[in-house]
Amino acid sequence: MVRKPVDTERVQQLYRELLIALGENPDREGLADTPRRAAAWWTEFLNHDPGTLDTTFANDNSHDGLVVLRGIDAWSLCEHHLLPFRLTVTIAYIPGTRVLGLSKLVRQLHAHTHALQVQERITTDLAHALAKAAGTDDVAVLAEGEHLCMSMRGVKAPEVRTLTSCRLGRTADDPTVTTLFGRLALPSPR
């Protein structure tokens, strides 16, 4: 997805106006530089460059089981409320002729979270992007999220977690693989 770059100057102006609309003095100490800092944050977050996403290495068929990364933390922004949500993600795939560099799994996640998003879309789009990069349909993603739009406002339900998953290929069809993924995807006791 290609998006327009953030208009940092305009965002800074809008934050100044927001502070005034909230009954604050944007020139007082403590707030004087807030519009610039807030605009810089939006620019940094939304213009994030995840780096190379598809580095693979030959799989000499010595590994035909699941590769699992779990406990990957990432932040995104709810497109409905513009509030953050934190995800803890488990990614699994069965390599074909190529294996993905492990950092690419995390980079792919960040490529999908640095946007105005919903958890369901991140989970599905990430699974499909990893399948394409790895050259295999045998990919599964499980995301557990805490959404500040539920914790801080509205229902005010902190500690509630939303689980989403997308399983493709054998991770969805093969009972042995689905059972193994289910056990491996559970969070480790901290």
Q: Determine the 3-state secondary structure of 83 from DSSP.
A: coil
> Residue 190 — pLDDT band, cuts 50, 70, 90?
very low
Closest CA to 164 of 147, 179, 189: 147
Using alpha carbons, select from 2, 164, 139 the residue that is nearest to residue 69: 139
Q: Where are the domains of the chain?
A: 8-46, 56-185
Task: Give domain 56-185's CATH number out of 3.30.565.10, 1.10.10.10, 3.30.1130.10, 3.40.50.740.
Answer: 3.30.1130.10
Q: What is the pLDDT of residue 120?
A: 98
| pLDDT in the model for residue 9 | 97
Structure confidence by residue, pLDDT tens digits, 9-32: 999 999 999 999 999 999 999 999
> How does pLDDT run across 71-126, given as a tens digit for each residue?
999 999 999 999 999 999 999 999 988 899 999 999 999 999 999 999 999 999 99
Residue 3 has pLDDT above 60, yes or no: yes
Task: Give the dihedral sign, CA 23/155/122/85.
Answer: positive
Q: How many CB atoms lie within 10 A of CB 107?
A: 19
77 dihedral zone (left: phi>0; alpha: psi -120 to 50; beta): beta
What is the tens place of the pLDDT at every residue in 116-175?
A: 999 999 999 999 999 999 999 999 999 999 999 888 888 888 778 999 999 999 999 888
